[in-house]
Amino acid sequence: MREVTAIAALRALLATERSAGRRIGLVPTMGSLHAGHLSLVDAARRESDTVVMSLFVNPLQFGPGEDFDRYPRDLERDRVLAAERGVDLLFAPTVDEIYGTGADLRLSGGEVAARWEGAVRPGHFDGVLTVVAKLFNIVGPDVVCFGQKDIQQATLIRRMIREFNFPIHLLLAPIVREADGLAMSSRNVYLSPAERDAALALSRALRAAEARWRAGESDANALRQLVGQVLAAVPGVVADYIAIVEPDALAPVARVTRGTIVALAARVGRTRLIDNVIFGD
Ligand code: AMP
C-alpha cells in the first residue's frame, strides 16, 4: 500500500494506474476504521483494479458544538487495517491540503439535504457534498463505494453524480453490524457499557418494523408508532426522527412497500446514532 498526503503526488500515481488501463475505485472515509469501512474496500475491489481509500475528517460537515475536535482519530491503526484489507493507495491529506486553495464555496444538497439529518444538522450535507465533489475531482474514480449506514448521504451523492454528470458508478454497501445487531460506527466508542446496551433499541426497533410489515402491516403511521414505542421503552434513548420514506428523495410515504426505507436517529446519552433498514432487502 502506498500512502500519500499531497494531491499532486496522488494524481501522479493515479495517472500511471490509469495509463496501464486500470479502473480506479474510491472509498471515502473519515478514518477510525471498523469492519463496515473495510467491507466497502471489498465492494470497490470487485469492480475496480486500484482501490484508493481517503481518510479525512472533514471540518465542513461538522456544525458548531458537534464532535469535530473529539472525533476518534488513529492513523497508525487505520494504516495497518487498510493495508491488510488490500487498499492500494491511502490518501490522508491535511485540512490545509484540501481547503488551502479556499473554502468559501459550497455545493448545496437542496430539498433532500434539508430533511431528516439535515434538519437536525444544518449545513452538514453541503459540507459532505463539497468534500466528495473535491475527492471526485482529485481522484477521478470509475467507481465509488458508500455505505447504506448513511442512507441520506448515499442518496444525495447518487443525486449529485446524476445531476452534475460525474462519470462515476456508485456502489451502495449493506450495513455491517455487531453480532448483537448494533450498526458499526466510529462513534460507538463514545458509548458507556450501559449506553451500548441501550443503543440496541435502534436495530431492535427496525427489525420489529420489518417483521410487522412482513406480517401484513403496510400503514406507515402504524409502523412509525411501533418504532417509537420500541425506542421509548428504553430509558436513556431519545428519538430525533423516524423517517418512513421512498428511496429517491427520501420523501415520506403513507403506505409501505418493498424498497421503502425506515431510517432513524436517536440520542443515547450524549451520543447521536443513526440506523436504517430497506424493506425486502
Ligand atoms: P465515515 O467514516 O463514518 O464517514 O464512513 C465512511 C463510509 O463508511 C460511509 O460510506 C459510510 O456509510 C460507511 N459506513 C460506516 N459505517 C458502516 C457500516 N456499519 N456498514 C457499512 N458501511 C458503513
Q: What 3-state DSSP class applies to 178?
A: coil
Of 191, 215, 196, 207, the closest CA to residue 275 belongs to 207
Amino acid letter, residue 189: V
Contacts of 66 (CB under 8 A, 6+ apart): 121
Locus of grid cell 449493506: 174
> What pLDDT, on the 0 to 100 scale, is given for residue 46?
98
Q: How far is the CA of 150 from the centre of ligand 1 (A)?
A: 7
The average pLDDT across 262-267 equals 98
The average pLDDT across 83-102 equals 98
All domains in the chain, ordered by first residue = 2-173 (3.40.50.620), 186-278 (3.30.1300.10)
Which strands sit side by side in the sheet containing 2-4, from one edge to the other?
2-4, 89-91, 50-55, 24-29, 143-147, 169-173
What are φ and ψ of residue 136, in 5° steps?
-60, -45
The average pLDDT across 101-108 equals 96
Which residue's CA lies nearest to atom 11 of ligand 1? 147
> What pLDDT, on the 0 to 100 scale, is given for residue 14?
98
> What pLDDT, on the 0 to 100 scale, is given for residue 178?
98
Percent of the chain with pLDDT over 90: 100
The average pLDDT across 148-154 equals 98
Which residue's CA lies nearest to atom 12 of ligand 1? 147
Over the stretch 164-222, which tens digit does the pLDDT of each residue have? 999 999 999 999 999 999 999 999 999 999 999 999 999 999 999 999 999 999 999 99
Q: Answer whether 124 contacts ligand 1 (Cβ < 6 A).
A: no
Q: Answer whether 36 contacts ligand 1 (Cβ < 6 A).
A: yes
Mean pLDDT, the chain, rounded, equals 97
Q: What letter would DSSP give residue 22?
A: P
Over the stretch 119-139, which tens digit does the pLDDT of each residue have? 999 999 999 999 999 999 999
**Cα(110)–Cα(259) distance, integer angstroms:** 23
Q: Answer whether 54 contacts ligand 1 (Cβ < 6 A).
A: no
> What pLDDT, on the 0 to 100 scale, is given for residue 119?
97
The average pLDDT across 36-61 equals 98
Of 34, 37, 124, 169, catalytic: 37
To the query of whether residue 37 is one of the catalytic residues in this protein, the response is yes
Q: How far is the CA of 161 from the centre of ligand 1 (A)?
A: 19
> What pLDDT, on the 0 to 100 scale, is given for residue 164?
98
Q: Answer whether 118 contacts ligand 1 (Cβ < 6 A).
A: no
| Residues 170 and 146: beta-carbon distance below 8 Å | yes
Residue 160: pLDDT band with limits 50, 70, 90:
very high
Q: Answer whether 97 contacts ligand 1 (Cβ < 6 A).
A: no
The average pLDDT across 248-268 equals 98
